[in-house]
Structure 1
Amino acid sequence: MAGLDFLNGELEELKRQGKYRLPSVWESGSGAWMDIGGRRVLQMASNNYLGLTDHPRLKRAAVEATEKYGVGAGSVRTISGTLDIHEQLELELARFKDTEAALVFQSGFTTNQGVFGTLLQEGDVVISDELNHASIIDGIRLTKAARRIYKHKDMDSLEQALRESSGYRTRFVVTDGVFSMDGDIAPLPQIVELAERYDAVVCVDDAHASGVLGRFGKGSTDHFGLHGRVHIQIGTLSKAVGVVGGYAAGSQALKEYLIHKARPFLFSTSQTPAVAAACLEAIRVLQDSPELGERLHASASSFRTRLQADGFDTGVSETPIMPIVIGDSARTMRFSARLLELGVFAPGIVYPTVGEGKGRVRFIVTAMHSDEDLAFARDALLQAGREFGLV
């Protein structure tokens, strides 16, 4: 229809800028090596940090739940869609996070929409790190609360925003636990101290910290020993946990308020029984298998050290997320394509996902990667890096 003809022009502009891409279609399940286009390539972009997507205990739990409950829950949670497997998952999550309660949503994105869209009201102010995830930004946009942005991890900037927001009913300070594009960790102790000084609520989104930081992967609050001082912990069940979904952990009052008010919770069919059961088993595996996290961090640290010694710019990474900063968008995408030719999948990430001129290929090390896998990735990076004048 003529009314949408402008889309073709927008797409052509993306191609001209070197930013056009469609999703890669994979022919195998998530793993260290995956099949694409009839080729076996090393996967260096997956959020499957601990390899749980293929864990036999999770698969068995999903099959057993399907046999018992069927393939769907049949309703939203507030009608007939809350099965006992959902309640078990939330109880286990709360124990795992050392909070009074937890509420599960369909995804991490909808969790942020539900939490911020519900809690933030006119007369409140939300103070957000400038590099927070898009789901936080979109959740905030749903509200009538005032907004302040503080410079990334800059505590002077945060304190200034807190000082200038004294006239509001409630001040909310929001940060990612681990920032997904750079792999750096939020200075949560300093954030909490400032929030306590100015009587502000603290919310941390642990999408990339769940399963990665803290004892058994409990997240950034546990990593810094701040239990009882972070009001809301948001997490995902879609990355290190290996399945899909999101959750908000905090007080029982928070859970009950979200049940009554959060639109993504109220108007979305609940998780399938297989998903809930697999998530529940994943939380148990995390606590039974600390060696997975130990291997993850040892491999990531070793790989980062080698890349930096080779001359690659890995930015401020301090987690298994490692950007190789290129800069120009078109050059970034060509570099990513060259790595794929060499057998390594590491997608280019460019504006608007990151700032203009800050394009990078993002490597993610997982517990599945062997020393041989990482040596293969490094060899490919060195070859492409020399061709592109990066090293």
Structure 2
Amino acid sequence: MSALPLETQPDSVFGGLSKRLEDLKSSGLYREFTPCSYLAAEPGHAMHQGRRIQVWCTNDYLGMSQNPKVMEAQIASTRRHGTGNGGSRNIAGTSEAHVDLERRLASWHRASRALVFSSGYVANFETLSTLLAAVPEAVVFSDSLNHRSLIEGIRASGNPKHVFPHNDVRALEELLSRYDIERPKLIVFESVYSMDGDIAPIREICDLADRYNAMTYLDETHAIGVNGPTGAGICEEIGEHRPTFVQGVFGKAVGTTGGYVAGPDTALDYVRSHAPGFIFTTTIPRSSLDATRHSLDVIQSSEGGELRRALRENAARMRAALHAADIDFIDAESHLVPVLVPGGERVKRVSRRLLDEFGIYVQPINYPSVAKGGERFRVTVAPFRTQRQIEEFVRALRVCLDES
């Protein structure tokens, strides 16, 4: 077989992408990644290009990734079981820890079954795309601010869908009322929306689901570990257990890696048996799963309750400090503190100056994650943060905003 001619080599074939990348950069929407290596001995700090910096945008809400009990669990498991499982769940990759964790998650969410995936994104995409494709007549009703993983899972299924205005129960009911009561329906929404920090009207949506014979798929990603008496999320906090499916992750407040879906046994057994992203991918290592189990031990205990209380108190302290400094932010219901810095270029300038001059890293959030003009920082204030650190962060932010 002869070699490909020069003009068909990758640089030539993909040459048009260079222009698109330049357009992305000139529009201010090119994503910059900031390498930071966390320091377990100094929670909230990391090394960046040889400098010690503070990180104020991590999703490790409770600091569990640096919890000594969790770290020791992973180290001990690695020594005993090794660094990987060697295959997919189907081929020698299902450990006893998988089985135990899935049983535990199902019980936590009062569900018949739970299924662990390699990430929260994969959990959403594979579950929705697989189940919906199996019921092509099912109509999907999706909140307008749903995460990309939910959007893509719905889109990949090809099912008919409606996008309803964010948290608008009346609009959702109007859409549901258009369909016969026997028509299969699925309402897809989140409990805590990460960009605004607001919370869905879960009870009202479940009431509509009952009234119109619909199933519900609730993404509790940003509430797992953070809300509820044992950290099971907003549903546990408000005593609402009607959602058909509940999705959660380990990579945020739990401090490890992976995601899961809890729900009906038959539906999730079908996903287990048919979802390509579950069947054909290498599984999470046993050591990480053991760390997850120990993290849940902490989260579900009184120690976890103290961490949740401290997280909420620190979020309130941050809001008070921002208010005193006349910095615009969304006074959200959750632990998240969105600080508004309109302008794609401006939010990036402020972020860069905070890092370069003050050793503070907070990632700029811009389009398409938020609408143009709604650029912001999503600030998180972990339990270990001190009042002094909060005040220093706000002072630095005020300086950078004033001079940007």
TM over 0.5: same fold?
yes
Of 274, 278, 285, 1:261 maps to 274
Closer, same or farther: CA 41–165 of 1 in aligned 2, 3 Å:
farther
Cα displacement (A) at 1:247: 0.4
Cα displacement (A) at 1:320: 2.2
Tell me which residue corresponds to 1:119.
131
User: Is the partner of 1:183 in helix, strand or coil?
Assistant: coil
Cα displacement (A) at 1:96: 2.3
Query: Matches of 1:78 and 1:27 in 2, distance apart?
Result: 34
Whether the 8 Å contact between 1:205 and 1:233 is mirrored in structure 2 is: yes
Tell me which residue corresponds to 1:80.
92
Q: Say whether residues 1:18 and 2:28 are aligned partners.
A: yes
Q: Say whether residues 1:322 and 2:341 are aligned partners.
A: no
Letter in 2 for 1:110: V
Query: Matches of 1:126 and 1:368 in 2, distance apart?
Result: 41
Matches within 5 A, 1:1-391: 1-29=11-39, 31-120=43-132, 121-166=135-180, 169-227=183-241, 229-288=242-301, 289=303, 290-315=305-330, 317-340=332-355, 341-388=357-404
Cα displacement (A) at 1:38: 2.1
Whether the 8 Å contact between 2:321 and 2:390 is mirrored in structure 1 is: no
321-330 or 111-120, larger mean C-alpha shift: 321-330
Cα displacement (A) at 1:342: 2.4
Cα displacement (A) at 1:71: 1.7
280-289 or 334-343, larger mean C-alpha shift: 334-343
Cα displacement (A) at 1:259: 1.4
CA RMSD of aligned residues (A): 1.7
Whether the 8 Å contact between 1:320 and 1:366 is mirrored in structure 2 is: no
User: Is the partner of 1:284 in helix, strand or coil?
Assistant: helix
User: Is the partner of 2:33 in helix, strand or coil?
Assistant: coil
130-139 or 8-17, larger mean C-alpha shift: 8-17
Query: Matches of 1:371 and 1:250 in 2, distance apart?
Result: 41
Which TM-score applies when normalising by structure 2? 0.92
Cα displacement string for residues 195-232 of structure 1 (whole angstroms, at most 9, x for unaligned residues): 111111111101111111111211121122112x1110
Whether the 8 Å contact between 1:96 and 1:283 is mirrored in structure 2 is: no
Cα displacement (A) at 1:95: 2.4
| Off by >6 Å, runs of 4+ in structure 1 | none
**Structure 2 residue runs without a partner (length 5+):** 1-10
Cα displacement (A) at 1:298: 0.9
Cα displacement (A) at 1:328: 1.6
Tell me which residue corresponds to 2:6.
none
Percent identity over the alignment is 34
Whether the 8 Å contact between 1:111 and 1:248 is mirrored in structure 2 is: yes
Query: Matches of 2:14 and 2:274 in 1, distance apart?
Result: 36
Query: Matches of 2:17 and 2:60 in 1, distance apart?
Result: 34
User: Is the partner of 1:21 in helix, strand or coil?
Assistant: coil
Whether the 8 Å contact between 1:53 and 1:243 is mirrored in structure 2 is: yes
Closer, same or farther: CA 250–167 of 1 in aligned 2, 3 Å:
closer
Query: Matches of 2:324 and 2:144 in 1, distance apart?
Result: 30
Query: Matches of 2:90 and 2:179 in 1, distance apart?
Result: 37
Whether the 8 Å contact between 1:42 and 1:373 is mirrored in structure 2 is: no
Cα displacement (A) at 1:24: 0.9
Cα displacement (A) at 1:130: 0.3
Decide which structure has the larger Cα Rg and report it: 2
Cα displacement (A) at 1:104: 0.4
Whether the 8 Å contact between 1:124 and 1:168 is mirrored in structure 2 is: no
User: Is the partner of 2:350 in helix, strand or coil?
Assistant: helix
Whether the 8 Å contact between 1:188 and 1:224 is mirrored in structure 2 is: no
Cα displacement (A) at 1:64: 2.2
Letter in 2 for 1:330: E
Whether the 8 Å contact between 2:317 and 2:387 is mirrored in structure 1 is: no
Query: Matches of 2:15 and 2:213 in 1, distance apart?
Result: 51
Cα displacement (A) at 1:167: 7.2
Letter in 1 for 2:63: G
Query: Matches of 1:218 and 1:234 in 2, distance apart?
Result: 11
